[in-house]
Amino acid sequence: MLQIYDSGYAAQVVADNKIPEAEPVDEPDPEAPMVGEVHKNVQVLTDLNVLEFSRLMQAMSTWVAPEQGCEFCHNPNDLASDEKYPKVVSRRMLQMTRDINTQWKTHVADTGVTCWTCHRGQAVPSGDWFRHPGEGENMQNIIGNRFEQNIAGVQAVGNSSLPYDPLSTYLNTEAPNIRVQGVTALPTGNRQSIRQAEFSYGLMIYMSQSLGVNCSFCHNTRSLAAWDQSSPQRVTAWYGIRMVRDLNVNYLNPIAPLLPKFRLSAEGDGPKVGCLTCHKGVYKPLYGQRMLEEGGHPELRGPVVRPPAEPASAAVALR
């Protein structure tokens, strides 16, 4: 189960995965008041004292808006005001980050994530995605229905002829079964078809590209289905798929109405998270460097208050 790396590509990716210097940590001060005693409109970070709170505000500026700084999220004359949308979105992002670090340890382990993992100094992180709008209707009349495939130049599926939107199918809802291989001699049980297999392969190519690995990072290719011959990383990836669905359904989709129109797709769809948003071409985001330890930002493991549950979204039927 060999991995093949292109040395030029690897050098570029190493350069892209530096972490910024941590903010200096203040001397512990038992007299420092809690945020609630000083600030008026703190809803998520209520467990911090004012020193920890300001240090995190500094770090968030570096991670998300290094050029604009505080003013990207705040009216400098009234820091308590929620008039700027990036502040309102950031509150949800803080909840999401804490949620990932405490509820999804099956995937992120003790490494965890910060805003930097996705944002890397940009308001809009690379590797977010939208539903693929699909083809014009008239194409169907002229050349028949392409069934969402055989289109050149769709990067998510490695420019292959596979269905071009496996992400909406599998990473935005409680999706249909990704497994395609029959486990019985006769076609009973799970619904296998070549068509369904093509959707699964599209997703697998996307996952491989996002992590910068070959199929054999997770599978023994003599039997792609067999778990007892797969690497432990495949299990981590299984949890990763469930985590990404959870993040999109409970955080990213509800955030879409808070964003200005120019952040949405032409069809009005909101931006979503995928494997690439965190991994950015590496098997572990930032090569597994930890930012949540002492001296970093352990407060991003703080208590989680999940937003109210969305009504369960209906499973996408395979078209």
Instruction: For the segment 194-253, give every residue that binds ligand HEC (CB under 6 A).
Output: 200-201, 204-205, 207-208, 211, 213, 215, 217-219, 224-225, 233-234, 236-238, 240-241, 244, 252
> Rule CB under 6 A: which of 84-123 touch ligand HEC?
86-87, 89-91, 93-94, 97, 100, 107-109, 111, 113, 115, 117-119, 123
Binding mask of the shown chain, residues 63 to 82, with x at each position contacting ligand HEC by CB under 6 A:
-xx---xx-xxx----xx--
Minimum Å gap between C-beta 230 and ligand HEC is 7
| Residue nearer to ligand HEC on the CB measure, 151 or 175 | 175
Part of the chain binding ligand HEC (CB under 6 A), chosen from 1-9, 10-18, 83-91, 132-140: 83-91
| Residue nearer to ligand HEC on the CB measure, 151 or 205 | 205
Look up residue 291 and give its two tokens. 């930012």
Minimum Å gap between C-beta 146 and ligand HEC is 22
Minimum Å gap between C-beta 246 and ligand HEC is 10
Q: Residues in contact with ligand HEC, total (CB under 6 A)?
A: 81
> Rule CB under 6 A: which of 254-293 touch ligand HEC?
259, 263, 271, 273, 275, 277-279, 283-285, 288
The span from the CA of 216 to the CA of 211, in Å, is 12
Smallest CA-to-CA distance from 169 within 255, 252, 244 is with 244
Q: Are 181 and 200 in contact (CB under 8 A)?
A: no
Minimum Å gap between C-beta 191 and ligand HEC is 11
Look up residue 304 and give its two tokens. 């989680």
> Rule CB under 6 A: which of 118-157 touch ligand HEC?
118-119, 123-125, 128
Minimum Å gap between C-beta 98 and ligand HEC is 8
Q: Are 174 and 316 in contact (CB under 8 A)?
A: no
The separation between CA 225 and the C-alpha centre of its own chain, rounded to angstroms, equals 25
Look up residue 315 and give its two tokens. 């499973």
The span from the CA of 271 to the CA of 247, in Å, is 12
The span from the CA of 179 to the CA of 236, in Å, is 16
The span from the CA of 70 to the CA of 75, in Å, is 8
Smallest CA-to-CA distance from 316 within 135, 171, 128, 137 is with 171
Minimum Å gap between C-beta 240 and ligand HEC is 3
> Rule CB under 6 A: which of 177-196 touch ligand HEC?
178-181
